[in-house]
Chain A
Amino acid sequence: MSAGKDVMIEAVDVNKEYRRAGAIIRALADVNLKIRSGEFVIVQGPTGCGKSTLLNVLSGLDLPDSGRIIFDGENIARATEDRLSRLRRQKIGFVFQDFNLVNTLTAIENVEAVLWPTVLRQKEIENRAISALRDVDLLDRKDHYPVQMSGGEKQRCGIARAIIHRPRVILADEATGNLDPESEKQVMALLKKINKEMETTIIFVTHRDLSQYGTKTIRMDKGRIIKIQ
């Protein structure tokens, strides 16, 4: 359906091994994949299949042992840490399973924090944070601390933080793993809306079957991609 769109992320012959308790674990084995701009990709597989490693490698959080990661036309597999930080600040938004909000900051401050290191003025940062919180329908909670919010609200705040800088890609690692079914539906519908309206590429890693929300599903097992549909 999106065959005509630009390739946003490409993994070419990517391998990654870990050493754990003396044993070598092959987390990624000859992974090749193309993710086009505007796709909503569900990466699904059992625990330990390498899906989180794939997410880490695609975002530059971890480096592959071999192979190339082409992110928006740039090979990031050997980029410097500062370059990767800048890339993440400009083009990537993260949504975490445990929300990772700073407990001592309010919802709006957590969202604003993404833009603190930028040259934007505080008023502009605040306006963008308000806009992001409005997008996730959490504006009425902007002055609440994470402890005063439910799991679903925390995750929506996490999504607002992920979209405040209008990233090209949102990476979500088991983002509904700590939510009840109702909140999970809300969060997935919200991500779907962001994917459609902002044309943001979304890569959603999960061990559950959430393929109905994606435009593409990648199934993994033992470090390999076994099926793309």
Chain B
Amino acid sequence: MWRKAILLSLREKKIFTIFTLIYTILIFLTSLFWDLAIKEEIGAAANYLLVIFFGTSLFLSLLYAWILVSRKRRVWATFKCIGYTNKNILVLVSGMIFFTTIVGFLIVIEVLFHYTAALAYLHSEDLFLSINEILIGLVPVIITSALFIIVQLVAFFLAYRKVLKVRPIIALKKVGE
């Protein structure tokens, strides 16, 4: 079922792309400020920014869960008619939410690897001797992504509540009724 959740995510091109991009930017910024906070390069402002970013992550997760369940109510109702349990549908919805964050995390890692590789290349040419460290350490990125996923548990709960409320009978109503 998880693989089918990934399939459904990828087919929802527009919404998947938008949310993945937002998550990518959010994971990148949160990790960056986390890294700066650890290195004490910026003051208390970093802590406030981290709270804002995690709050935004929570809001996005809830929004995504709400969109996935509410906009596709007829699909989930149809799935209930053809024998899906609430749990089956929740696995699909959770998988779609979870996959978006994972892809965001992988993109950030990919970008950082390329950034580091480019930096190493430039160092080897002695072009920018003043640049002596990578942008963000791997640890803040991993911790940020893990915390984002934990924050999404709230979204899973919302999705579950909403999935329970989808009545299969909706599938039998005429479109627009």
Q: Which positions in A face B, CB cutoff 8 Å?
A: 52, 55-56, 59, 61-62, 81-82, 85-86, 88-90, 92-94, 96-98, 100, 102, 104-105, 109, 113-114, 116-117, 161, 165, 173
Let me know if B79 and A98 touch, CB within 8 A: no
Which positions 72-105 of chain B face chain A at CB distance < 8 Å? Answer: 74-75, 78-86, 88
Neighbouring A residues of B140 by C-beta, 8 Å: none
Asked, given contacts A96-B171, A97-B174, A102-B75, whether A117 binds B83 with beta carbons under 8 Å apart, the answer is: yes
Let me know if B172 and A90 touch, CB within 8 A: no
Min C-beta distance of A46 to chain B, whole Å: 16
Let me know if A81 and B86 touch, CB within 8 A: yes
Expressed in whole angstroms, the Cα–Cα distance for A85 and B90 within the complex equals 14
Min C-beta distance of B95 to chain A, whole Å: 12
Check B45 for interface membership: any CB of A closer than 8 A: no
Expressed in whole angstroms, the Cα–Cα distance for A61 and B170 within the complex equals 10
Let me know if A85 and B172 touch, CB within 8 A: no
Let me know if B83 and A89 touch, CB within 8 A: yes
Expressed in whole angstroms, the Cα–Cα distance for A1 and B50 within the complex equals 74
Q: Which positions in B face A, CB cutoff 8 Å?
A: 1, 4, 7-8, 11-12, 74-75, 78-86, 88, 168-169, 171-172, 174-175
Let me know if B172 and A52 touch, CB within 8 A: yes
Instruction: State which of B1, B4, B12, B74 has its C-beta within 8 Å of the C-beta of A100.
Output: B74
Neighbouring A residues of B7 by C-beta, 8 Å: 105, 109
Min C-beta distance of A69 to chain B, whole Å: 15
Neighbouring A residues of B79 by C-beta, 8 Å: 113
Instruction: State which of B4, B75, B81 has its C-beta within 8 Å of the C-beta of A61.
Output: B81
Expressed in whole angstroms, the Cα–Cα distance for A55 and B82 within the complex equals 14
Residue of A nearest to B78 (CB): A100
Let me know if A88 and B88 touch, CB within 8 A: no
Instruction: State which of A62, A81, A94, A104 has its C-beta within 8 Å of the C-beta of B8.
Output: A104
Neighbouring B residues of A113 by C-beta, 8 Å: 4, 79, 82
30 CB < 8 A contacts A-B: A52-B172, A59-B81, A61-B168, A61-B169, A62-B169, A81-B85, A82-B85, A85-B85, A86-B83, A86-B85, A89-B82, A89-B84, A96-B171, A96-B172, A97-B174, A100-B74, A100-B75, A102-B78, A104-B12, A105-B8, A105-B11, A109-B7, A113-B4, A113-B79, A114-B82, A114-B83, A116-B88, A117-B1, A117-B88, A161-B82
